[in-house]
Structure 1
Amino acid sequence: MRKIYVIGIGSGDPDQLTLQAAKAIGRTDVFFLLDKGEAKESMIELRRRMLKAYGRPSRRIAEGRDPDRDRAPADYEATIADWRRRRSEVTEALIGEHLLDGETGAFLVWGDPSLYDSTIAILDEILARGQTTFEYEVIPGISSVSTLAARHRIGLNRVGRPFQVTTGRRLAEGWPDGADDVIVMLDAHQTFGTVDAENVEIFWGAYLGTEDELLVAGPLDEVADEIRRVRAEARERHGWIMDTYLLRRRA
Structure 2
Amino acid sequence: MNCDIIREQLIAYLYDEDIRPEARERLKVHIETCPSCSQTLEELGSTSRILNAWGDEQPDLNLLFVQERQTLWQNLLPMRYPKTWATAGVAIAAILIFTLLNIEFAIRDGAFHTSIGLRSSDPSEQTAITDTTETPSLDAPITLGEFIIHQQNLIDYTNRLVQTSQNQQRNEVNNTFIRLVGELETQRQQDLLHIDRGLQILYNTQETRYGHILTQMDSVKKELFFYDNAAEVLIVPEDNRPYRTIPTRRKTP
Is TM (by shorter chain) over 0.5?
Answer: no
**Larger relative contact order, structure 1 or 2 (CA cutoff 8 Å, min sep 6):** 1
Q: Which has the higher strand share?
A: 1
